[in-house]
């Protein structure tokens, strides 16, 4: 008699079959940032998940941040990190630090992927003219070299995917004068997902998902249609970094990305759990005609 433990394993693999079929050769953009980047074990788990997606035939692209690491280095040189509406005030020195730190983080991620036997190429938004931007103002205020993405040239990503590399992107771009700009990583992930017509965009965040009441973790919302997400923003149910994150989710859906998800990057393997099971973790943002699964089935 075969041990039940092994039968359960086989069952788990079979359960994943429809999801593997659905996403075969499809592009999945994973935004990786926040605290999940600071913990080495979590980082290794996230990278293993993405490598697994790649090896079973998905086409993942990682877009990463590293805001906390940038702040650490800004502090190290005796400066004080400053944010306005979730965006880093970026003077020339901060710009230099941000680019250096993100490039370092980028190569660490490339190394992790390569060590698992998958070929990765780390690039910034400057490479191949991927992210062209102009200065972004915050409510009319100049906050330095912060970029608003104007144009995405996805050719470099398409070429890398075509040749079976796993692209890993960090959010620095330039304007038409070739001045460097620091771009919010959520904005970069959203713009890239739209430009490559991703099937799915996943934000690995520092929180479970979107709460109806931002101070009450018992109010996690599993699924949101675009108009409901807009209402949460306009009626003040979401605040802080969740406002631009949710707005990016709405934009991605409106620009044709099929599924957008906010997941808790602190939960080990949250990415795999979301893609391969119907356990419904985090918050899914759905097109208006997208059927809600959990309301209807649970
Ligand atoms: N309704 C809400 N639901 C969830 N998070 C919220 C809500 N309103 C405000 N937030 C805040 O938004 C934060 C997530 O945005 P952000 O810090 O930019 O994420 P990350 O750094 O992971 O990209 C949460 O940690 C939380 O403090
Ligand atoms: C303009 C701006 O704020 N850029 C971000 C870029 C990194 C980022 O977004 O990192 P997380 O995703 O880890 O927050 C910053 O300097 O922190």
Nearest partner of 110 among 99, 123, 100, 98, judged by Cα: 123
71 Cα to the center of ligand 2, angstroms: 9
| pLDDT > 80? residue 295 | no
Backbone phi, then psi, for 257, in 5-degree steps?
A: -70, 135
Specify binding-site residues for substrate. 66-67, 88, 182
Nearest partner of 205 among 254, 260, 141, judged by Cα: 260
Helices 92-115 and 40-55, packing angle to 10 deg = 60
pLDDT-based confidence at residue 296 (cuts at 50, 70, 90): very low
What distance lies between CA 4 and its chain's CA centroid? 37
pLDDT, mean of residues 17-23: 90
pLDDT digits (tens, 9 = 90+) for 89-111: 999 999 999 999 999 999 999 99
pLDDT value of position 297 = 43
> Which residues are registered as beta bridge partners of 60?
28
ipTM: 0.95
Instruction: Determine the Cα–Cα distance for residues 285 and 203; give it in Å rounded to an integer.
Output: 11
pLDDT value of position 241 = 82
pLDDT value of position 38 = 86
Helices 242-254 and 226-234, packing angle to 10 deg = 150
Q: Which ligand is nearest to the CA of 65?
A: 2
103 Cα to the center of ligand 2, angstroms: 13
87 Cα to the center of ligand 2, angstroms: 7
pLDDT value of position 123 = 98
DSSP per residue, 252-293: HHHTT-SEEEEEETTSTTHHHHHHH-----SEEEE-TTPPPH
pLDDT digits (tens, 9 = 90+) for 247-285: 999 999 999 999 999 999 999 999 999 988 766 789 999
Q: Which ligand is nearest to the CA of 207?
A: 1
pLDDT value of position 276 = 87
| pLDDT > 70? residue 7 | yes
Instruction: Determine the Cα–Cα distance for residues 175 and 156; give it in Å rounded to an integer.
Output: 18
pLDDT value of position 298 = 41
Q: Which ligand is nearest to the CA of 90?
A: 2
Planar angle of CA 146, 149, 152, nearest 5 degrees = 140
pLDDT value of position 270 = 92
pLDDT digits (tens, 9 = 90+) for 56-99: 999 999 999 999 999 999 999 999 999 998 899 999 999 999 99
pLDDT, mean of residues 20-24: 90
Q: Which atom of ligand 1 is nearest to the CA of 86?
A: 18
pLDDT, mean of residues 207-224: 93
pLDDT value of position 294 = 62
pLDDT value of position 15 = 86
Residue nearest to atom 21 of ligand 1 (CA): 34
pLDDT value of position 13 = 87
Nearest partner of 201 among 212, 213, 189, 211, judged by Cα: 189
Tell me the best of 206, 232, 263 to mutate to test the pocket of ligand 1, counting ligand atoms within 8 Å of each CB and taking the most. Answer: 206
| pLDDT > 90? residue 47 | yes
The verdict on the CB of residue 217 being under 6 Å from ligand 1 is no
Instruction: Determine the Cα–Cα distance for residues 230 and 245; give it in Å rounded to an integer.
Output: 12
Q: Which atom of ligand 2 is nearest to the CA of 147?
A: 1
207 Cα to the center of ligand 1, angstroms: 6
**Of 34-43, 139-148, 208-217, which range is least confident?**
34-43
The CA-atom distances, in angstroms, between 126 and each of 35, 53, 118 are: 26, 26, 24
Q: For the chain, what are the domain ranges?
A: 25-297
What mean pLDDT is reported for the chain?
Answer: 93
Tell me the best of 184, 201, 240 to mutate to test the pocket of ligand 2, counting ligand atoms within 8 Å of each CB and taking the most. Answer: 184
Tell me the best of 240, 262, 266 to mutate to test the pocket of ligand 1, counting ligand atoms within 8 Å of each CB and taking the most. Answer: 240
| pLDDT > 90? residue 227 | yes
pLDDT-based confidence at residue 239 (cuts at 50, 70, 90): confident
Top-level class of domain 25-297 = alpha beta
pLDDT value of position 255 = 95
């Amino acid at each position: 008699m075969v041990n039940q433990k092994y039968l359960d394993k086989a069952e788990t693999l079979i359960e994943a079959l429809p999801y593997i079929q659905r996403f075969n050769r499809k592009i999945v953009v994973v935004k990786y940032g926040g605290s999940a980047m600071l913990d080495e074990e979590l980082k290794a788990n996230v990278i293993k998940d993405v490598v697994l997606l790649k090896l079973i035939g998905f086409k993942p692209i990682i877009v990463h941040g590293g805001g906390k690491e940038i702040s650490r280095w800004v502090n190290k040189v005796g400066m004080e990190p400053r944010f306005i509406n979730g965006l880093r005030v970026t003077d020339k020195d901060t710009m230099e630090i941000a680019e250096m730190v993100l490039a370092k983080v980028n190569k660490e991620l490339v190394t992790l992927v390569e060590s698992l036997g998958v070929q990765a190429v780390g690039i910034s938004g400057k490479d191949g003219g991927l992210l062209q931007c102009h200065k972004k103002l915050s409510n009319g205020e100049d906050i330095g070299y912060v970029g608003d993405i104007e144009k995405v040239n996805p050719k470099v990503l398409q070429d890398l995917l075509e040749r079976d590399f796993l692209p890993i992107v960090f959010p620095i771009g330039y304007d038409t004068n070739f001045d460097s700009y620091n771009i919010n990583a959520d904005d970069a992930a959203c713009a890239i997902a739209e430009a490559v017509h991703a099937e799915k965009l996943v934000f690995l965040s520092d929180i479970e998902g979107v709460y109806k009441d931002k101070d009450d973790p018992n109010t996690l919302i599993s699924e949101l249609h675009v108009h409901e997400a807009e209402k949460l923003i306009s009626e003040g149910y979401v605040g802080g970094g969740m406002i631009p994150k949710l707005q990016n989710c709405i934009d991605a859906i409106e620009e044709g990305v099929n599924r957008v998800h906010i997941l808790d990057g602190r939960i080990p393997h949250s990415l795999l759990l979301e893609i391969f099971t119907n356990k419904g973790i985090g918050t899914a943002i759905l097109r208006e005609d997208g059927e809600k699964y959990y309301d209807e089935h649970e």
